[in-house]
Amino acid sequence: MTHPPAMLVLEDGRVFHGVGFGAEGETFGEMVFNTGMTGYQETLTDPSYAGQIVAMTAPHIGNTGVNDDDPESGRIQVAGYVVREPARVASNWRSRRSLDDELRAYGVVGIAMPGTRALTRHLRDRGAMRGAVSTAETDPEALLERVRQSPSMEGADLARRVTTAEPYVVPAIGEKRFTVAAVDLGIKSMTPHRMAERGCEVHVLPATVTAEEILARDPDGVFFSNGPGDPAATEYAVTALRGVLEAGRPFFGICLGNQIFGRALGLGTYKLRFGHRGVNQPVQDRATGRVEISAHNHGFAVEAPVDGPFDTPFGRAEVSHVNLNDGCVEGLRLLDGRAFSVQYHPEAAAGPHDSTGLFDRFCQTMEGAR
């Protein structure tokens, strides 16, 4: 298959050249980078990446091809893909297709270019910004004009776009112990699986579900998932969560779910300069001092007092986890132990698995509330 010339243009006017990878055409999104050395299939299919063009810092991508076991959702979710060098040969016993073919099948435009390191350094200095990849345009100025008219990640309500249209149930594996209502803001398939492994029957519900609809299922616990977009634009989920907390149900949230929990408690959220996307972020549990190496994918964070507990409409709360790289808030909890959330990914496939115990903590919380 021949690959046409392609270019990547950033909103501040920086231009990179390379060759097309995946579908031909033109795509717009927030330009971000992911430092994971492994797990490109999980990254590509993580709904939290909707609306983002993702650049991989690992230089060889596609080496193990594409299999049918690892996807985190039913499709490739990224708006565009940037790699240094796509594997010329996919080699793995589970591989079914090449990554190039898979990107084409979902109409996802990508670029292979030598400058991924320069791109990453640029984004670290200037921050994540809008960008475009095109195999159709030859004039960078014309593409830049369109980038500057494209929507920004700030204020974007994208959870609505990726959520399930209809509720569905993931059955417990083995004996059923709990009923969990899981609000799908962009849920990854590994998340209900991690709960099902622990005896949870997981009722996955659309993002715009109300507190009344959640409580009508009489869940032992309520879960809010990860998801794309700006938490400040996802006010409907904040309202639903406030209703759940008022009813006193145990709550666990991940990533966007953590940001929604923060906003439900009356805290603010803000956009980080370039975010955390990778599989080796050090997070400290402030209660135990234990450091977990964890998978991350977030561009926003919660603003909260880190020097001690604070008051909320649902009782005293505290920052439970912090990131040791930049000090940002990585977890929240109500002091009564009923509700907690983390900004990172305990469900992470392909790992690391330091934080999977948080699913056990959720089960203990549900057990305790009985």
Ligand X SMILES: NC(=O)CC[C@H](N)C(=O)O
In the list 110, 227, 331, 346, the residue contacting ligand X (rule: CB under 6 A) is: 227
Q: Is 299 in the site for ligand X (CB under 6 A)?
A: yes
With CB under 6 A as the contact rule, which of the stretches 74-82, 93-101, 162-170, 292-300 interacts with ligand X?
292-300
Query: Exactly one of 194, 298, 321, 338 binds ligand X (CB under 6 A); which one?
Result: 298
Closest by Cα among 23, 12, 31, 18 to 275? 31
Which residues are paired to 19 by β-bridges?
5, 112
Is 347 in the active site? yes
Instruction: Return the number of the residue (229 or 250) whose C-beta is nearest ligand X.
Output: 229
> Alpha helices of the chain — where are they, by DSSP H?
40-45, 99-105, 116-126, 140-149, 159-162, 190-196, 211-215, 235-246, 256-264, 357-368
* Annotated active-site residue in 255, 276, 292, 321: 255
Number of amino acids touching ligand X (CB under 6 A): 11
Among 110, 140, 192, 228, binds ligand X (CB under 6 A): 228
Evaluate the CA torsion angle 60, 61, 65, 68 in order and state its sign. Answer: positive
Strand 315-323 to 329-334 pairing: antiparallel
Judged by CB, which is closer to ligand X: 100, or 354?
354
Q: Which one of the listed residues 30, 276, 347, 363 is annotated catalytic? A: 347
For Cα atoms 209, 320, 268, give the angle at the middle one, nearest 5 degrees.
55
Least gap, CB of 276 to ligand X (angstroms): 9
Cβ at position 337, least distance to ligand X in Å: 23
* 207 touching ligand X, by CB under 6 A: no
Backbone angles phi, psi at 236, to 5 degrees: -60, -35
Task: For residue 200, give the nearest of 171, 169, 225 by alpha carbon.
Answer: 171
Say whether 17 is catalytic. Answer: no
Q: Is 345 known to be catalytic?
A: yes
Closest CA to 330 of 359, 363, 349, 355: 355
Stretch binding ligand X (CB under 6 A), from 216-224, 245-253, 298-306, 347-355: 298-306
Least separation in angstroms between residue 120's CB and ligand X is 17
Angle at 306 between CA 293 and CA 274, to 5 degrees: 55
Sign of CA dihedral 154, 332, 255, 39: positive
Q: Of these, 229, 253, 262, 278, which contacts ligand X (CB under 6 A)? A: 229
| Angle of CA points 330, 362, 270, to nearest 5° | 25
Site for ligand X in 15-54 (CB under 6 A): 48
18 is in an annotated binding site: no
Smallest separation (angstroms) from ligand X to the CB of 38: 18
Name the residue with the smallest CB distance to ligand X. Answer: 255
Contact yes or no for 324/291 (Cβ under 8 A): yes
150 is in an annotated binding site: no
Q: How are beta strands 109-112 and 15-22 bridged, if at all? A: antiparallel
Q: Which is nearer to ligand X, 143 or 295 (CB)?
A: 295
Catalytic residues: 255, 345, 347
Question: Which segments are annotated as binding site?
Answer: 48, 227, 229, 256, 259, 297, 299-300
Binding site for ligand X (CB under 6 A): 48, 226-229, 255-256, 297-300
Question: Which segments are annotated as binding site for L-glutamine?
Answer: 48, 227, 229, 256, 259, 297, 299-300
